Chains A and B, each alone.
Chain A
Amino acid sequence: MDGSNEKQLHSSATTPVMNAIKEEEDMPPTPIEPVTSEFKTPYLGNETTNMSSTDLFQTAKATFTNSQVQTKFMSPPVAGFYSAKDGNNSSSSLIYNSGFTFGDSNNNGGTNTSSSNTPTKTVPVGVPTASNFKREPRRNSLKYVPGSKLAPPPISRNRSPIRNTSPEVIPTSKRSSTYLESPFNFTQGHHEPPKTTITSPHKSTPPSSAGSRTSFRKGHRYKHSSVSMNFFQETEVKIPLNIAKSLPIPDFGDILQNLPWPKAHIQLVIVSLQLLLGISIFFIGNAKAWSNFITLSHFITYDIIGSLAIILIETLSHFEAWFTGTITFPFGLNRVDVLLSFALAVSLCFVGLDLLFHMLEEFIAIFVESSNPDHHSDIVAQIPHSHHDGMAAGQLISGYNITMWYAVVLFSLFLATLSLFKTFYANTNSKLKTKNPMITIIYSFYLLIFPSLPDNLSNISDYVASFLISMFILVHGLTIAEWTSTILLLGFSTTVLPSSAFLLDQDTHSQNQLEDVNSHNEKMNNVSNGLNKVIMGRKRSASSLPVATSMKNHHCNDDSILNSFLSIFKFKKSGNRRKFNNPSNIKAIIKEKIENLSEFKSRCHLNDGDLIIIKTNFSLFIVLLKIDLKGGSNDDETSLRFAVDKCIKKCLPNSETTIEIDRI
């Protein structure tokens, strides 16, 4: 609601257009030729997205005549595409179709005579349309209900300021079906992101004039336009849903065409450079029998995979299907991000294990050799990626070779660093993702030292280095896998929450409070003095809670990878940290805070099991509560809900709360 949300609203203003959609649009003669070529840029950095919602609103007013320009940032309505996808042509389909208005609903809302009940108004929740005008709570989908059951329409609906600014819409919208001829004007005028219509995947949606005409002919729509007809509505006509059934999943072509302009392309250039480097390193390694190089090329390959995955995710995240919940995918596609990150972490573990086993193999080979030294060379030849040749290579590295060695290693070091910062850290949720180039960087550093190592040391150093690296890979991979799997399993992942946020006002107090929390957990049942004490302690810390800000600052700046590596050596400290971030503790704290609310205190009850916090993707917490309220009116309920919601939002800024209140 407040500043934190403000920014979020804009991203959806420009969703990329998919191939299929464009094809759809090209067919009907559109009143204003939609500049399809411009639609290709889903990239968020354009002007509209950077404006706050009020700004946007004003510009909308001011530059209304200028709407042409703004359409460039929006893609045209694409409803036809979706309906085609669903194969559902009938108006009786369950999905709400936005082009469709009900005469009676217009009239029913006593207050909204002046305003129009435009199709876009009734756009489903998940649709970004509303985002531009977030201040108006005009989102309600259920305009169309059989007459007898009709609820009074929301007052909020009429408040849409956009409508007023659009001269074309106002007159037409009252007679709903007639305005169908100029859907584009309408949308343009309002800066409605064209995708809004996506969520109503039905042919009946009118945005393209040709399409609308056919549906017109069918007579379905016509029927609804009359008020009286609605009273005799057949029962089987289903009411449009407030949520899209499903959204098309972008295919490869869509992704290619919608790569965010400078960023993704730079990243792709880095990737292709790395690819070239990897291949050449592989061949050099083979030609010169430098086994280290072959290992390095493996690491680089892995970097490439990781970068590609990140580019893919970044691009995908601009599509609507990514972040819009539908019935089929309740949280959108963005769990793909978590899933991919998990998959990468698992494969990282695989690589680590593989390396470790190769190490073991060679280690064992030493024993075998010691028992029959004649076979030395035979044995070595049989081991894939044997590091044994490294010793020979150590002597080989000289003169021309040594410059080549250094040049190649330095170049790979450079590329890896570049990709680490340009691709991996540039990414939003980098803390929870594998940072592959780290490995390459570390290994490259080792390779830089390698030629200067004395001969007898270089025998062992390969083993030590690959052992350390594989351990590092394993620890890193497992950490990431653990974090992401918590999210995948619908758990309460507390990893991105800074530990300090909840528990600490000062470091010195931390231990104290931790004990408090622990004791609290133990005495959860008996509400006694101890509990009170805890609550008091909590209150103090709650007052100085800068969670929202600290969470942002905290973001991905701390080097978790090194921490995780070092944490092998300092179990104690990490254990301590883990205690702080223990989901039970955080949950207990949130619960206490809720219980301390003045609205709550007197007559409410919250069971421990009735506060559920889960995380469904990298950024979204879902909080589900069930509170018992003894007595009270609707207003009490509302105020309680507000207070609790606010309290939770303070702790978990990016969360969706659902507060179920049982009045006893």
Chain B
Amino acid sequence: MVQSFLARIPLIISFPTIILSSNLIVPTYQDILEQHISHNINHNSNLHNEQDHFLFSDLIVRLIFLPLFASLSFVSIGCSVNIIKRRWSSVIPISLTFMVVSLLNFILNPIQTTVFTMVTVKKLIHNENNQIYDISMKSHIFNFMKTYLPLIGLCLIINCINEENRALSNFMSTSEPWYYLLLNFVIYLVLIILLRYTYPVLKYKLFDTQDDHNNAQEDNYIENKSTRRKVLISLILGSLASLATMLVLTIFYRASTLQLLMVFVYIGCVTIFFFSLKDSLIEYSQRMSDDGSNDQAQIATLQIPNFMTLIIGFMSISLQYLSFNKVASSFTKDLLTVVFVTLAEYISRVSIRLSYHNKQGYPIKSRVTSTTHNDHHHHNHSSQKQKKSIFKQIVLNKDTRSIFSFLLLNTTFMFVQLLYSFRSKSLGLLSDSLHMALDCTSLFLGLLASVLATQEASDKFPFHLKYLQTLAGFTNGILLLGIVCGIFVEAAGRVFKPTAIEETNELLVVAVLGLLVNLVGLVAFDHTGDGHNHGDNGASSDNMRGIFLHILADTLGSVGVIISTLLIKLTNLHIFDPIASIMIASLILLSSLPLLKSTTLNLLLKLDTKKHNSVKNALNQITTTPGITGYTTPRFWPVQPNASEHAHSHGGSQHSENDHDHEHDHDHGHEHSHNSQNGHNHHHMSKNLDKCTLVGYIHIQYAEGENSTIIKKRVERILENEGIQAWVQVEPQSSSCWCRTTSMSSVINPNISSN
């Protein structure tokens, strides 16, 4: 439950952010007005002279290229993440719809757009498939009106008394309000009609007959592959071209300047949106396939839950507040907006209840299965197979999943913060959000490592990647050290050269938000950490510890910022800022040192006492074995890194074993599919590394006259009993071998090779 909610947070945040940032790519009229007012208080005439020229190009940008860019980039990202199928038939309607959405954005404000879209999408998902064709036109239109008219009415009311839009009408030199009202109404009508006709198409494309298509695709997939590539390339090219056109227009035709940062935020948010959507889809389909019997309970999770519209609406309101420092221009309008959002929630429920038939589960199911089918399809044939499976592994693994959702959340928050920093023009926040990007990178590293560690052995890594997680933990420790050093240096600078901190309010807001996000992350981590992870093995616990420390460091950072800002506000002493940073930095340092130590020892292949003893025992037994005169180079190292001291094993051995089995199964399946595909002879080590704790090699010298095979068997049995998998070289005492002619130290010593 916590899981699925956590996974949904990025969706909730990113969706309004997409709408808002797409709106902000070209500065709003309000911004432009403000700027103009602040700029040219003296020369108003200038403004009017430029207006015609400005307006024309500006409208072109706003009405054609911006929606074009938004929808094309949206769809192309969706395609590359494989949410949207790469076929013209599915790409075109979706991009058209999104164009409509962003046109809507032009007329309405982001809050209203968000809510409208939500209502429509909810209707789309929850209504039954064939219903649209069955019901007569009349009742259908009636249905539509019932859904949208109240909303539109409220919108009109809000917009009518909206000064921002009056500013727009000023720009368009249409000062009469009724004209504006009429214009709006016409636009709405057009929209509804548009929606009415795109609606079935959309629905059809989204949900229906995917499987048939896919089956057809199986036959001539090469052809489809090329079309898929074509679709993707043309989409990307199209979005780039529209962006370039916008740039050209803004530079040469003096349209309002393009906000490239917002483009960045927009694209990032769309990416996150799709990733988290995919995340929940995959997880959902997995659950469906796991227990198909319990349909009813499952369906509820993918349906847009009841309060989703409300939540997203409020999220959008708060975003609006963050970026404009107000929701609407007056209190009544604020109130009306809230009413609007609530009404949308109510309407969406009512309209669904209208069409709430028995078969309501069907469309969703078909959609989900088609998605999985597509995944599967892709998995088999695309060159991206590797990446794909990594994503799936991340999502399907319980431990990594919550961390993945947290990563998405963190990234979303980063983008929101970027947006906010841009709006509030605060550079402190800007650098903070970039710092967050670094955090996200290291989180991602840890995540990637934990998934890659389950990969099968290859020629390059014959012993699997068992140490990868430890390495990731080590890397995270090093990065933490770097961060700490950075903080120390900066704090020292501030001690000697105190700088007054402005923007304390913004700082507080963001720090509190960041604290919230990080707390969510800690909860998510705790959730996985307690239940599943700690018992596993040293490797993953090292990795998880690295991730955990990162999140903890961030949390501490936000706490420090909050406290120091409050203290500064109260006392006006700026010394608190560096003091807080130094304290936090030393806390992070202290917590990361043990991590560094344990990972270092593990990477040096150190044996813990238990393993040490088992090696000793084995060697003792070997020496007492008859026929053996000696052994050389007994080198044994742990198959898996030792568990670190701090890892408390909650799960118990039983659990970890289960986990391990699961992983193994997965590996095997993977290899198998690979085999069937290429006829590749895959790497199968004759030694079975699963059951042992140590792996290594030893050379055994036997006395003349002994049978080497028997000696070898004996040694192998001894080693096996101690849990050691070893390569045993058996050699007669009289023969020579490198292990006896040279001391083994000298072989290793790196100094020598250079001489």
A: residues with CB less than 8 A from B are 1, 5, 7-12, 44, 94, 125-131, 134-135, 137, 139-142, 145-146, 149, 151-156, 238-239, 241-243, 245, 317-318, 320, 322-325, 327-337, 339, 342-343, 346-347, 350-351, 353-354, 357, 360-361, 364-365, 367-368, 370-372, 375, 379, 381-384, 428-429, 485-486, 488-492, 521-522, 524-525, 552, 555, 583-584, 587, 607-610, 612-614, 616-620, 622, 624-626, 634, 637-638, 641-642, 645, 649, 654, 656-663
Q: Are B727 and A658 in contact (CB under 8 A)?
A: yes
Does B498 have its Cβ within 8 Å of any Cβ on chain A? Answer: no
Residue with the greatest number of chain A CB neighbours at <10 A, chosen from B632, B709, B750: B750
Query: 0/1 per residue, B577-607, Cβ < 8 Å to A?
Result: 0000000000000000000000010011111
Q: Which residue of A lies closest to B483 (CB)?
A: A350
Q: List 6 A-B contacts (CB under 8 A).
A: A8-B753, A94-B620, A330-B605, A524-B680, A617-B748, A659-B729
Give min CB distance, A365 to chain B, whole Å. 6
Select one of A9, A243, A334 contacting B748, CB under 8 A.
Answer: A334
- Indicate which residue in A323, A371, A488 contacts B603 across the interface (CB closer than 8 Å): A488
Complex contact B751–A325 (CB within 8 A):
no
> B743 and A661: CB pair below 8 A?
no
Known: A328-B606, A488-B471. 7 other contacts (CB 8 A): A8-B753, A131-B743, A323-B746, A342-B471, A343-B474, A347-B478, A616-B605
Question: By the criterion CB–CB under 8 Å, are B750 and A428 in contact?
Answer: yes
Given contacts A94-B620, A367-B259, contact A335 B605 (CB under 8 A): yes
Tally B residues with Cβ within 8 Å of A. 114
Contacts of B607 in A (CB 8 A): 327-330
Expressed in whole angstroms, the minimum distance between the Cβ of B490 and any Cβ of chain A is: 6
Write the B715-755 contact mask toward A (1 if CB under 8 angstroms, else 0): 00000000000011111111111111111111111111111
Q: Which of A149, A153, A485, A660 contacts B727 (CB 8 A)?
A: A660
Name which of B430, B600, B730, B739 has the most chain A CB atoms within 10 A of its CB: B430
Partner of A329, one of B606, B623, B707: B606
* B residues apposed to A, CB below 8 Å: 27, 35, 38, 257, 259-261, 422, 425, 427-428, 430-431, 434-435, 437-438, 441, 458-463, 465, 467-468, 471, 474-475, 478-479, 481-482, 486, 490, 493, 499, 600, 603-607, 612, 615-616, 619-620, 623-637, 678-687, 696-699, 701, 703-704, 707-709, 712, 727-755
A-chain residues with CB within 8 Å of residue B731 when the two chains form the complex:
638, 641
For B418, the closest partner residue in chain A by CB is A364
Do B733 and A154 touch (CB < 8 A)? yes
6 tightest Cβ-Cβ pairs between the two chains A and B: A140-B630, A8-B752, A323-B749, A524-B681, A658-B697, A584-B459
Residues of chain B with a CB closer than 8 A to A332's CB: 745, 748
Give chain B residues whose Cβ lies under 8 Å from the Cβ of A428: 750-751, 753-754
Q: Which residues of B contact A624 (CB under 8 A)?
A: 697, 727
B18 CB to closest chain A CB (Å) equals 20
Query: With A139-B740, A322-B749, A619-B753 in contact, is A347–B481 under 8 Å at CB?
Result: yes
- The answer to whether A350 touches B624, judged by C-beta atoms less than 8 angstroms apart, is no
B727 touches A626 (CB 8 A): yes
Max count, chain A CB within 10 A of own CB: residue among B600, B619, B627: B619
- CB nearest neighbor in A for B422: A368
Q: How far apart are A44's CB and chain B's nearest CB, in angstroms?
A: 7
**In the complex with contacts A364-B430, A488-B603, A1-B736 CB distance below 8 A:** yes
Known: A134-B741, A151-B627. A323 touches B728 (CB 8 A): no
Across-interface contacts of B627 in A (CB, < 8 A): 151
Residues of A within 8 A of B712 (CB): 660, 662
Are A146's CB and B468's CB within 8 A?
Answer: no
* Residues in A whose Cβ lies below 8 Å from that of B425: 368, 371-372, 375, 379
A343 contact set on B, CB distance < 8 A: 474, 478
Given the known inter-chain contacts A140-B630, A660-B728, please indicate yes or no for A149 contacting B624, CB distance below 8 A.
yes
Given known A-B contacts A154-B733, A325-B633, A242 and B738 have beta carbons under 8 A apart? no
Q: How long is the Cα–Cα vector from A328 to B609 in the complex, in angstroms?
A: 8
One of B428, B605, B630, B737 near A645 (C-beta < 8 A): B737
Which of B681, B738, B744 contacts A126 (CB under 8 A)?
B744
Most central of A327, A329, A619 by chain B CB within 10 Å: A327
Nearest neighbor of A588 in chain B, beta-carbon distance = B459
- Determine the distance from Cα of A331 to Cα of B427 in the docked complex, in whole angstroms: 50
Evaluate contact between B619 and A242: CB separation under 8 angstroms. yes
Q: Which residue of B lies closest to A524 (CB)?
A: B681
| Chain A residues with CB under 8 A of B623 | 141-142, 145, 239, 241-242
Across the interface, do B486 and A638 meet the contact criterion of CB distance under 8 Å? no
- Contact partners of B422 in chain A: CB under 8 A: 364, 367-368
What's the nearest-Cβ distance from chain B to residue A85, in Å? 15
Whether the pair A335, B743 counts as a contact (CB closer than 8 A) is: no
Q: How far is the CB of B565 from chain A (nearest CB, A)?
A: 15
Question: Once the chains bind, are A1 and B741 in contact (CB under 8 Å)?
Answer: yes
Cα–Cα distance between A7 and B754 once the two chains are bound (Å)? 10
A residues less than 8 Å from B681 (CB atoms):
524-525, 608
**Complex alpha-carbon distance, A50 and B733, angstroms:** 31
> When the two chains form their complex, are residues B753 and A654 in contact, meaning their CB atoms are under 8 A apart?
yes
Cβ contact within 8 Å between B742 and A370: no
A657 and B750: CB pair below 8 A? no
Do B619 and A11 have beta carbons less than 8 Å apart?
no
CB of A654 within 8 A of CB of B427, answer: no
- A166–B709 alpha-carbon span in the complex (Å): 41
A428 and chain B: residue at smallest CB distance: B754
Contacts of A372 in B (CB 8 A): 35, 38, 425
**Distance between Cα atoms of A641 and B735 in the complex (Å):** 10
- A238-B727 Cα distance, complex, nearest whole Å: 24
When C-beta atoms are compared, the residue in chain A nearest to B475 turns out to be: A346
B729 touches A660 (CB 8 A): yes
Contacts A325-B744, A488-B603, A489-B471 given: A384-B431 contact, CB under 8 Å? yes
A129 touches B486 (CB 8 A): no
By CB atoms of chain A within 10 A, which of B435, B437, B459, B619 has the most? B459
A261 to chain B, nearest CB (A): 15
| A109 vs chain B, min Cβ distance (A) | 11
Taking CB atoms, residues of chain A closer than 8 Å to B435 are 357
Tell me if A622 and B745 are in contact (CB < 8 A): no
Determine if B431 and A361 form an interchain contact, defined as CB atoms under 8 angstroms apart.
yes
How far apart are the CA atoms of A332 and B746 in the complex, in Å?
11
Given the complex of chains A and B, what is the CA–CA distance between A555 and B754 in angstroms?
8
Whether the Cβ atoms of A127 and B428 lie closer than 8 Å is: no
Q: How far is the CA of A155 from the CA of B468 in the complex (A)?
A: 46
Residue of B nearest to A318 (CB): B751
In angstroms, Cα B751 to Cα A11, docked, is 8
- A367 and B261 contacting across the interface, CB-CB below 8 Å: yes
Chain B residues with Cβ below 8 Å from A522 are 678-680
* Residues of B with C-beta under 8 A to A491: 460-462
Residue on B nearest A381 in the bound complex, by CB: B499
Choice from A1, A361, A488 contacting B738 with Cβ under 8 Å: A1
Q: Is the CB of A354 within 8 A of B736?
A: no
In the complex formed, the residue of A with least CB distance to B607 is A328
Note all chain A residues with C-beta closer than 8 A to B628: 142, 151
Cross-interface CB contact of A350 among B27, B479, B707, B735, cutoff 8 Å: B479
Q: Give the residue of A8, A156, A364, A637 whose beta carbon is less than 8 angstroms from that of B746.
A: A8
Let me know if B736 and A130 touch, CB within 8 A.
no
A339-B743 in contact (CB<8A)? no
Q: A11 to B749, Cβ gap below 8 A? A: yes
Residues of chain A contacted by B631 (CB below 8 angstroms)? 141-142, 242
Q: How far is the CA of A332 from the CA of B637 in the complex (A)?
A: 11
Given A371-B35, A489-B471, answer yes or no on A608-B683 (Cβ-Cβ < 8 Å).
yes
Check A335/B462 contact, CB under 8 A, given A129-B743, A142-B629, A239-B623.
no
Hey, which chain B residues are within 8 Å of A125, CB to CB?
Answer: 632-633, 739-740, 743-744
Whole-angstrom distance from the CB of B391 to the nearest CB of chain A?
22
Q: From known contacts A137-B741, A350-B482, A486-B460, infer whether A429 and B750 are also in contact, taking CB-CB under 8 Å.
A: yes
Q: Once bound together, how far apart are the Cα atoms of A361 and B436, in whole Å?
A: 13
Known: A127-B743, A130-B743. Is A641-B729 also a contact (CB below 8 A)?
yes
Q: Are B604 and A360 in contact (CB under 8 A)?
A: no
